[in-house]
Chain A
């Protein structure tokens, strides 16, 4: 309880100060009144005139998105064309007219009037909603609607750009698609983006979005009596700008209009014919095919199945298909050539051979006896060579070890090299590291070539120190591309390209203007010659019983290097007949190939998931890929070849 004298008293000068505030307030508000006088009375007629003329309204002009070409500009992979939609705005049509309009539209556009009326009823509370009547109408339908437009109040046409993917599913995962930007993306990208903007998603569309997208413009349009902006369009549905006799834009339109800056076009390295062929060859199998120009790293084909049509995401009315695609497993939207990684199996022996020869643990004449069983000191169970049933490979040298894919030879090479040398050479050749393909950041899978460092880091949390230690037995597994090692088909192709082009690691690329980026590797000519000989023999030694494992890829009169791979998948049970093995437990079939002496030289990698054997499943496909490529060279490569063959 406060005593009376402690009771707070107000400041005695308060009334004077409040009066000062009143005067200040009146002064400030007088400024507003004077400004109103200035605007409305002194300059009123000027603004009234401006308001009368003010029948212009802004309309956004979407910049046409850049075209994506194949290797040459006569091959259009993706472009943008205007698509016309017919819309109905109930608020602009009297209630009593709506049924008549709906029936009229039904006749003109071959739609169901009751559906439309039901939709109008559904949006009764939101009469300003633009209800789609029919999307992507033909020119004749558009002409019919415009002809009767006086009898169709509330009916509008709206033009929007429609992205078209001319090859459908072919190269779908490479191209990606475009979609409306969402709220998080706007926040992440900032001011330049607005709701309704279309941005590239996945693949080339996403990677090169800044190049392809261009910049939106705007156009002032005249408002007609219906208080709705009318975009003046030409016969193709493109917005037009009024110009005077000299071609200058009329003043009032010039003031606030801005031309859209069209997106730049993009030319890819993709040979769309070859890409289509590869996808056709994969057929219903799950797998991937990569074809690289070995000298440059140009991606000629990068096929993956299952596949999808990006057009599903840009056309209207494919909601179910979209959802199904997004939920499908394995996802047809992933490109298995670089977004999935697999145990490489015997194709890894190419890297082993190069590493072994360069580190000097083997030489041209080194030979290891192969009786089908390989023992490590202190380990009771032997590692088998795949030919153990037939008594092994005898005494192969490096050439034969590659040609016949002798496991035991490479077990020995692996033990002599040690895991860290294996890691060094494999990564040098592009395995277990990102290749740098120009795809959206983070979308390329890295794979793994283990090392002692890796194991230490990977099992850093392990309780027992032995879990962090690397064991020779693991090295033995890695030596033939099993165990922890995984690679992507694209990486395998990069490795082969290095063998073909004389020891340079290429960075694969899809956008032609990126250009080659070669990393010379410290590999001697002798090593390359030996490995080439082995890989050639693998394909060319046809005489049985000791034929190469890759003879199915042999092409008469063409030098083809090849290496098979059959990567074991974890299997829970032994099966006597391999066709009894469930699909998911079947081995992956690999084949890597190189064509060094044709123009252009190429490197190929074929992976058939769960295809059982590289020699029987992947090698024949490789052969068809190579044959197709050289018999259907794309125009620009044909020209280059012609120039070289000439005088």
Chain B
């Protein structure tokens, strides 16, 4: 494999691509924070599976624990592989991801109005999840190669194009929420890579001026979502109902919550999708403000620790990778919680570590693995 690395003209020949001893140098602060979040996620899923109404038909809790296990294995494997090798492969993985997205557009199954799944065996696989990581690596590859040239506008635009292609393909699968996750990723990465702030401001202004155009492009149901957000009572039978019920769920948790397994809003099935996109409602209802804030604090600690790891890495690709991973997870957390507490219209993004679902759990854990992998190798680039 070192031969491949040499051929890729990226690394010195003496660097080991796979090094199991790296496992001894993990950043324990990040690991503990991840462990705490995973614990909260699992105990919450336990309540979602076994609370109030008795045994569940499908043991979501067990499956979620399995996803955590698989995700951990993936994260550890990523830690052991030199991330620069993965970055060197990024153009290939990125191209593969784009092809997969195109294939989904052509033949994918339809799940809840969006075409985004491949079915392999009994598990569904979402290429859009894979594409998120592939794009972060591609941006890291590109930005670390161009270096200071990012200060030129055309180089900056190319970075946006790299994120724009998968984003547009996912938007074409009418999955607006996932398509939007590329926006914070590319903004954070070019920002950390040192682009001109006035360029970013120009792009933001341009984006803002395109909002009316985008509004025209939205599908009717997406426009309804925004209208429903403004006044949920206008559509009390569908998503307005969901918004009203999630607010009741969160609000009725008060300071200390109703107790684990005692959330009536969720267990009495007032709130649809309480295991996936609205899992935060369950947590806030059963554990109250205290539980909600603890969770938010854990997330903030985890994400800030990720940014610290990024800062500690002097190698540009690693520096960017960690920042990109933080950006994507931070966006998921913020949007998901904001939707649940009626600060944003419904778009359907999962909450890392808490929402039920294998593909996204895997993405989350691979992000964690990447951050750790960046960190264990930071010593190689320490200034002499």
A17 at the interface (CB under 8 A from B): yes
Q: Which of B19-27, B48-56, B119-127, B208-216 contacts A (4 or more CB under 8 A)?
A: B48-56
**B292 and A25: CB pair below 8 A?**
no
Chain B window 302-331, contacts with chain A (Cβ cutoff 8 Å), 1 for yes, 0 for no: 011001101101111101100100100010
Q: Which residue of A lies closest to B6 (CB)?
A: A1
Interface of B toward A, CB cutoff 8 Å: 6, 9-10, 12, 52-55, 57, 110, 144-145, 147-148, 150, 188, 191-194, 220-221, 236-237, 241, 245, 247-255, 264-265, 267-270, 284-285, 288-289, 292-293, 296, 299-300, 303-304, 307-308, 310-311, 313-317, 319-320, 323, 326, 330, 333-334, 337-338, 341, 343
Tell me, in angstroms, the Cα distance from A128 to B58 when the chains sit together. 10
- A58 an interface residue at 8 Å Cβ cutoff? yes
The answer for the CA separation of A450 and B307 in the assembled complex, in Å, is: 80
Given A36-B289, A36-B292, A227-B268 in contact, is the A11-B252 Cβ separation under 8 Å? no
A40 touches B250 (CB 8 A): yes
| Closest residue on chain A to residue B151 by CB atoms | A11
When chains A and B are docked, how far (Å) is the Cα of A47 from the Cα of B236? 17
B44 to chain A, nearest CB (A): 16
Q: Are B255 and A41 in contact (CB under 8 A)?
A: yes
Checking B10, B145, B284, B299 against A29 with a beta-carbon cut-off of 8 angstroms, the contacting residue is: B299
Smallest CB-CB separation from B299: which chain A residue? A29
Per-residue interface assignment for chain A, residues 88 to 116, with 1 indicating a CB less than 8 Å from any chain B CB and 0 otherwise: 00010000000000000000000000000
Q: Are A40 and B253 in contact (CB under 8 A)?
A: yes
How far apart are B232's CB and chain A's nearest CB, in angstroms? Answer: 11
Asked if A10 is an interface residue, CB under 8 A from chain B, the answer is yes
**Contact assessment for B192 and A29 in the assembled complex, using a CB-CB cutoff below 8 Å:** no
Kindly state the interface size class of chain A when it binds its partner: 35 or more
User: At the interface, yes or no: A459 with Cβ under 8 Å from chain B?
Assistant: no
**A223 proximal to B (CB < 8 A):** yes
Scan A465-505; emit 1 where CB is below 8 A from any B CB, else 0.
00000000000000000000000000000000000000000
Residue of chain A at shortest CB distance from B12: A1
Q: Does the CB pair B57–A57 fall under 8 Å?
A: no
Please state if B267 and A227 are interface contacts (CB–CB under 8 Å).
yes
- Chain B residues contacting A1 (CB-CB under 8 Å) are 6, 9, 12
Supply 18 A–B pairs (Cβ within 8 Å), ascending by A: A1-B6, A2-B9, A14-B193, A17-B191, A21-B191, A21-B192, A25-B330, A28-B334, A40-B253, A44-B254, A44-B255, A47-B248, A48-B251, A51-B248, A54-B270, A125-B57, A127-B55, A218-B237
| A10:B319 contact, CB within 8 angstroms | yes
Contact partner of B55 (CB less than 8 A), chosen from A26, A45, A91, is: A91
B192 touches A91 (CB 8 A): no
- Residue of B at shortest CB range from A42? B251
Closest beta carbon of chain B to A630's beta carbon, Å: 55
Question: Shortest beta-carbon distance, B144 to chain A, in Å?
Answer: 5
Q: Are B144 and A8 in contact (CB under 8 A)?
A: yes
Q: Is the CB of A21 within 8 A of B254?
A: no
Residue of A nearest to B316 (CB): A10
Q: Is the CB of B269 within 8 A of A227?
A: yes
Contacts known (A9-B147, A36-B293, A223-B268); A127 close to B57, Cβ less than 8 A: yes
A window 559-606: CB within 8 A of B: none
Which residue of B is nearest A129, CB measured?
Answer: B57
Contact B148 A39 (CB under 8 A): no
* Residues of chain A within 8 A of B247, CB atoms compared: 39, 47
Asked if residues A14 and B319 are in contact (CB atoms below 8 Å), the reply is: yes
Centre residue among A12, A31, A54, A223 by max chain B CB count within 10 A: A54
Q: Which of B57, B144, B251 contacts A128 (CB 8 A)?
A: B57
Q: Which of A35, A218, A258 has the most CB of B within 10 A?
A: A35
Q: SS class of chain A's interface: helix, strand, loop or mixed?
A: helix
- A8 touching B311 in the complex, CB below 8 Å, given contacts A1-B9, A44-B252: no
> Told that A33-B296, A35-B341, A46-B251 touch, could you supply 20 new A-B pairs with CB distance under 8 A?
A8-B144, A10-B319, A11-B192, A11-B193, A12-B194, A18-B308, A25-B303, A25-B307, A32-B334, A33-B293, A40-B289, A44-B252, A50-B251, A51-B251, A51-B265, A54-B264, A218-B237, A256-B237, A256-B241, A258-B237
A51 pairs with B249, CB closer than 8 A: yes
CB neighbours of B52 from chain A (8 A) = 227
With A11-B193, A35-B343 known to touch, is A40 a contact of B310 (CB < 8 Å)? no
Asked if A126 is at the interface of the complex by the 8 Å CB criterion, the answer is: yes
CB pair A51–B314 under 8 Å, yes or no, is: no
Task: Name A91's contact: one of B54, B237, B343 (CB within 8 Å).
Answer: B54
Closest B-chain residue to A4, C-beta based?
Answer: B12
A58 touches which of B148, B237, B285, B292 (Cβ 8 Å): B237
Contacts of A218 in B (CB 8 A): 237
Are A32's CB and B296's CB within 8 A? yes
In the complex, which residue of chain B has the Cβ closest to the Cβ of A26? B300
Interfacial chain A residues near B304, Cβ < 8 Å: 22, 25-26
List the A side residues contacting B220 at CB < 8 Å: 191
Instruction: Give the residues in chain A near B337, CB-CB below 8 Å.
Output: 32
Q: A8-B317, A25-B300, A57-B270 are in contact. Are A37 and B252 (CB under 8 A)?
A: no
Q: Which of A31, A36, A125, A223 has a CB less than 8 Å from the CB of B250?
A: A36
Residue with the highest number of chain B CB atoms closer than 10 Å, among A25, A44, A129: A25
Please state if B221 and A191 are interface contacts (CB–CB under 8 Å).
yes
The distance in angstroms between the C-alpha atoms of A283 and B72, with both chains bound, is 74
Q: How far is the CA of A32 from the CA of B299 in the complex (A)?
A: 12
Nearest-CB residue, chain B, relative to A10: B316
A129 to B194, CA, bound (A): 57
CB of A13 within 8 Å of the partner chain: yes
Min C-beta distance of B265 to chain A, whole Å = 6
| Cα of A4 to Cα of B316 in the assembled complex, Å | 15
Q: Are B288 and A40 in contact (CB-based, < 8 A)?
A: yes
Of B12, B188, B315, B341, which is within 8 A of A32 by CB? Answer: B341
From B6, B194, B252, B343, A47 is in contact (CB under 8 Å) with B252
Closest-CB distance, B234 to chain A (whole angstroms) = 12
Is the pair A40, B251 in contact by a Cβ cutoff of 8 Å? yes
Nearest CB in chain B to that of A90: its residue: B57
Task: Choose one: B145, B192, B236, B255; the contact of A14 (CB below 8 Å).
Answer: B192
Q: Is A15 an interface residue (CB 8 A)?
A: yes
Q: How far apart are A96's CB and chain B's nearest CB, in angstroms?
A: 14
Among B54, B145, B296, B300, contact of A8 (Cβ-Cβ < 8 Å):
B145
- Given A18-B192, A39-B251, A47-B250: A29 and B334 within 8 A (CB)? yes
CA distance in complex: A125, B59 (Å): 10
Whole-angstrom CA separation of A43 from B252 in the bound complex: 9
Contacts of B55 in A (CB 8 A): 91, 127
> Which of B55, B288, B323, B341 has the most chain A CB atoms inside 10 A of its CB?
B341
The answer to whether the Cβ of A255 comes within 8 Å of any Cβ in the partner chain is yes
CB distance from A322 to the nearest CB of B (A): 27
Is there contact, CB below 8 Å, between B289 and A37?
A: yes
Q: How far is the CA of A17 from the CA of B319 in the complex (A)?
A: 12
Q: Is the CB of B148 within 8 A of A31?
A: no
Q: Which residues of A contact B110 (CB under 8 A)?
A: 187
| Residue of A whose beta carbon sits closest to that of B220 | A191
Measured in the bound complex, the distance between the Cα atoms of B145 and A9 in whole Å is: 9
Contact B307–A22 (Cβ < 8 Å): yes
Contact B254 A48 (CB under 8 A): yes
Most chain A CB within 10 A, of B9, B52, B147, B313, is at B147
Q: CB-CB < 8 A to A58: which residues of B?
A: 237, 241
Instruction: Compute how far the CA of A8 lies from the CA of B142 in the bound complex, rounded to whole angstroms.
Output: 11
